[in-house]
């Protein structure tokens, strides 16, 4: 088994600030992917007063072997109070940018699209100046559900590619690489004004050539923002790390991605899908988009 290198060490968080965020989340009975997926950046993000909210969870209908979110529990019915509680948390935390994600809800006809919309609308009502990023599942290819989410006009539509095509069957057995690219392409076609984003994990046995091919595929569907981070094994029962990629390689991918035309490439060992997501506000000012679309 590969030994974790020094560059993956995380500084101890400022527990007073972390406690403040956790208190708000507990008070409003909200889940975060930061906690449910054992994110290594939880201390840094909670210290900064940010969090990636996990709606419709925390039980997932898929069993991806890299993910620490629980798939053994049965999904519950959607809570009609969740959107307002989420909006209250955003307001209390005074967030300039919020990320909303979800477990896979393949048990729902629309994959939970309507719950995303209700959450977006509630945040708009309570915090109209807050920009919104949705990190969505593939919705089982339900493109009407995708259009429903986009009609609510989130500023960023994020859907993770996760890994290279060769490893999909092992890493993301219920996912589909072509469907992921189609989702991003349809998002661009339906709403030219949305910023599209995707993320890739590395260290699972992919090659540099394969990573660059995924980057090229994402640019072909006009993906704006790319995140690349090191996969870390959450527990012994999850997929093992094949390789710890050095920081120099992440820097090289960032340069390659910028040359390809991505508006932003966040690439480092500890990068995750929502890491420093609030930086998109500056990106929006630098690269404004048309608001035409659905």
- 149-177, pLDDT tens digit by residue? 999 999 999 999 999 999 999 999 999 99
Q: Percent of the chain at pLDDT above 70?
A: 87
Query: Considering the entire predicted model, what is its pTM?
Result: 0.91
Phi, psi of 247 (to 5 degrees): -55, -30
Percentage above 90 pLDDT, the chain: 66
Q: Which alpha helices (H) appear in the chain, and where do they start and end?
A: 15-27, 33-36, 42-47, 82-93, 113-126, 143-151, 168-171, 177-190, 208-220, 247-260, 280-286
Tell me the pLDDT band of 66, cut-offs 50, 70 and 90.
confident
Amino acid 49: pLDDT? 53
* Inter-residue contact 274 to 33 (CB < 8 Å): yes
Give residues with Cβ within 8 angstroms of 60, minimum separation 6.
67, 69, 70, 71, 75, 103, 104
Please give the pLDDT value at position 37. Answer: 46
List, in order of start, the domains of the chain with CATH numbers.
Answer: 6-286 (3.20.20.70)
């Amino acid at each position: 088994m590969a030994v974790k290198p020094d560059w993956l060490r995380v500084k101890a968080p400022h527990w007073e600030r972390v406690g403040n965020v956790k208190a708000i989340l507990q008070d409003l009975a909200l889940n975060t992917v930061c906690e449910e997926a054992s994110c290594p950046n939880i201390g840094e993000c909670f210290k900064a007063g940010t969090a990636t909210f996990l709606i419709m969870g925390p039980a997932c209908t898929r069993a991806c072997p890299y993910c620490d979110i629980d798939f053994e529990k049965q999904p519950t019915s959607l809570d009609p109070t969740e959107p307002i509680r989420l909006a209250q948390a955003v307001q209390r935390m005074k967030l300039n940018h919020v990320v909303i994600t979800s477990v896979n809800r393949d048990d729902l006809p629309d994959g939970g699209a309507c719950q995303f919309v209700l959450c977006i609308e509630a945040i708009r009502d309570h915090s109209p100046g807050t920009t919104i990023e949705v990190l969505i599942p593939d919705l089982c290819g339900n493109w009407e559900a995708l259009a429903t989410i986009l009609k609510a006009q989130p500023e960023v539509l994020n859907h993770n590619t996760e890994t290279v095509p060769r490893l999909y069957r092992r890493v993301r057995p219920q996912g589909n690489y072509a469907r992921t690219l189609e989702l991003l392409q349809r998002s661009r076609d339906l709403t030219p004004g949305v910023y599209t984003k995707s993320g890739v994990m590395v260290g699972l046995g992919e090659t540099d050539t394969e990573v660059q091919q995924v980057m090229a595929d994402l640019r072909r569907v006009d993906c704006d923002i790319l995140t690349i981070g090191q996969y870390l094994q959450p527990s012994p029962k999850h997929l093992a790390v094949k390789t710890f990629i050095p920081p120099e390689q992440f820097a090289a991918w960032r340069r390659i991605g910028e040359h390809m035309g991505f508006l932003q490439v966040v690439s480092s060992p500890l990068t995750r899908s929502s890491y420093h997501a609030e930086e998109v506000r500056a990106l929006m000012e630098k690269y404004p988009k048309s608001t035409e679309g659905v």
